[in-house]
Every structure is written in C-alpha cells, then in structure tokens.
Amino acid sequence: MATIRDVAQRAGVSPATVSRVVNGLVGYSDETRARVEDAVNALNYETDYLARGLKTRQTSVIGLLAPMVSDALASQVMQGVEAAAQERGYAVMLGRTGPKSTFIAGYLRTLRTYRAAGVILISAVITPGTRQLLGPNIPVISVAISDKSGSPSVAIDDEKAAYDATRHLLQLGHRRIGLLTGDPASVYVSLPRERGYVRAMAEANCPPATATGSFFYESGAAGLDQLLAQDPQLTAIFAMSDEMGAAVVNELQKRGRRVPEDVSVLGFDNTSTAVHVHPALSTMAQPLEEMGRMAVAKLLRSRDLGPKIVPHQLIERGSTAPPPS
C-alpha cells in the first residue's frame, strides 16, 4: 500500500503538502495540486483514517445518522453536512437507521470504535443511551429537532413556525383550516407544531380540525379523508411536511377540488418536493442545508455545543390564496 511519503516523493513535494491537498486545505498552487493528484491516482493512495486515529485518538470522520424522516429533508441536511465536512478535511460516514431508530445502537458503537470526531443526528434527540454508547470523548449534536433541554442542537422553533404558518392562512381570510400532523411519536416536532396551530386558531376563535399523518407522502391521502370527514367545507389545509402537502394537493385535484381556488394548501420545510408539485407549494421553510453546515462547525468547536435556534421563513407560492367568496 502506498504511503503519504511515496506520494510526496513522486510529486516532488513534502508529505505536509500532500496532506493539505488530499484534505482539501489551502496553501499550494494549482500546479502543485495537479502533481499531487496525479501521484495519488498513479499510486492508488488512500488516506488511512484508522491509523491516524490510533495516533491522535480521533479520526477525520464525522458520523451522520438519519432516522426515518422525510427523505427530502434528510437529503438537504446531508448536503450541508458533507460540504462543510469536506471543506475542513473530514469524511462523512452515513447511517440510515430505519423505523423507530432500529440499528442506531450498532452505528453508534461502530463510530465509537472508529474514534469518530463527532456525530450528527438528523431529526433525533440525544438520549442518555446515545451518550453512553458513544462514550465521553465523542461530541454529538442534533439537527432539525430540539428537546428544549439544552442539549446540543441546531433547529427552528417548531411551535412558533407552525403558529406563524397558521396565522398566515388566517390573515388570508381562512377560518376553516385543517391540520395534517406528523408522526405522533415525534413528540419534539409534531406536538410543538400542533400546539402552534391550536394556539393560532384559538386566538382567532376558530375550531381546530386535525388528522394524523406520518410526515411521508403516503399518509397525505388518508389524512385528507380524515380532515374532510370532520369538515367537508375546509378552505385551507396545513400539512406538517412538504411531502404530505404535495400529496394533499394531488389528492384534492383528483377529487375535482382546485388548488388554491377551492382549497389552499401549506406545507412545511421548503424541500425540493415543494416545487415538484403543481401548483408549487407554499411552505414554512427551515434553512436545512445551512443547518447541516452549522452543525459541523459547532461539532468541531466542541466547546460551542449549546442549542442554536435558527429563523424560519414563510415561502409563498401558488398553492395558497384567499378563500372562495
């Protein structure tokens, strides 16, 4: 196996310069970078992260665990994590943990054995079990979820965001607004968003109508049936994810209901799904890619691991309008 010294000798540079090039750092010319990359390819050189970890007690690897949430949401967080990690010379080890966090314990044990520099959880809170499995020396942070306990996290204020989303529909003139919730087991996301919706409706003296979804597209049609059974005259539906919102738009149109002329639909997250439906989905945006970047920066500054609340933003598109007169 080729070593970093072999690459340096072939490229005519120092081992330190090879290290800077392969880790994406700065401080060399384009010509030097090209010589190093040619040597790396010719020698089939691979950085030995585990050997580095035996010397430094930490590898240049960040664990990224994504429990079963919206794939579009997870994808945008991942983009930010991977970009920020690569800029700092770190590799990302991804684990998808399945429903109800199956496999998460195995991934955490592997990351501890591998001496990961840190672990990022997408839409999963940090439990005492998480910390026990990782040990005391590996920092961990959550993205797109906060348990309000002061645990390391980068998240929006979900209750305030849902309140603002509902207020937007009320300000358009809607009074019969249904809510399609996410998975009720997601107590740190679904419940705060439901509280925000209920509070806004109560302030406007409007009765709530809620149905249970799962955050995924497939639950949109069933949720729509539940809502229309409660109130067939709903003029607006607020869905707790863009995937469910897109499903509601499609299902309404299949049933001969126009969006937004008959029923307005508002989603949540501002994922790519929001613009892949017609009309494009109005949504309450989380800065998901930036949140992923922020998580990496906080993780690698392990003394800066308190909770971080980032701003949400309403994105208006074609799926919302005043109610029919």
Q: Is 67:119 a contact under the CB 8 Å cutoff? A: no
Mean pLDDT, rounded, for 237-244 = 96
Q: Percent of the chain, pLDDT > 90?
A: 58
- Ranges of CATH 3.40.50.2300 domains, the chain: 52-156+289-312, 158-286
Which CATH number is associated with domain 52-156+289-312? 3.40.50.2300
Residue 99's pLDDT is what? 56
Of the candidates 227, 179, 214, the one whose C-alpha atom is nearest the C-alpha of residue 200 is 179
Q: Compute the distance between CA of residue 41 and CA of residue 28 in angstroms, rounded to an integer.
A: 19
| pLDDT higher at 73 or 170 | 170
Between 102 and 316, the more confident residue is: 316
pLDDT of 309-325, one tens digit each? 999 999 999 999 999 98
Nearest CA-CA partner of 116 in 106, 104, 108, 128: 108
pLDDT at 104: 78
Burial of 9-29, coded b for 16+ CB within 10 Å and e otherwise, reads ebbebeeebbbbbbeeeeebe
- The torsion of the CA quartet 196, 169, 247, 293, rounded to 10 degrees, works out to -60
| Residue with token string 């993205």 | 143
- Average pLDDT of the segment spanning 187-215: 96
Q: What is the mean pLDDT of residues 87-112?
A: 78
* Helix intervals (H) in the chain: 4-11, 15-22, 30-43, 49-56, 71-87, 104-113, 128-134, 158-171, 190-203, 219-230, 242-254, 288-300
The single-letter DSSP state of residue 17 is H
Which band of pLDDT confidence, cut at 50, 70 and 90, is reported for residue 165? very high
Who contacts 247 (Cβ-Cβ below 8 Å, separation ≥6)? Answer: 217, 218, 219, 220, 221, 223, 224, 239
Look over the chain and give the mean of its residue pLDDT values, rounded to a whole number: 88
Spatial strand order of the sheet with 264-269 comes to 209-212, 177-181, 236-239, 264-269, 282-285, 313-315
At the fourth CATH level, the homologous superfamily of domain 158-286 is Response regulator (3.40.50.2300)
| Whether residue 75 has pLDDT greater than 60 | yes
240 closest CA partner among 174, 173, 203, 195: 195
Q: How far, rounded to the nearest angstrom, does the alpha carbon of residue 92 sit from its chain's CA centroid?
A: 15
Residue tagged 């945008």 (tokens): 76
**Predicted local distance difference test score (pLDDT) of residue 70:** 60
Query: Is residue 57 pLDDT above 70, yes or no?
Result: no
Q: Is the Cβ–Cβ distance between 69 and 185 less than 8 Å?
A: no
Distances (CA, A) of 27 to 44, 117, 142, 297: 24, 24, 33, 21
Q: What is the pLDDT of residue 223?
A: 95
Residue 66 has pLDDT above 90, yes or no: no
Are 281 and 265 in contact, with CB atoms under 8 Å apart? yes
Q: Provide the pLDDT for residue 47.
A: 61
Confidence (pLDDT) at 207: 96
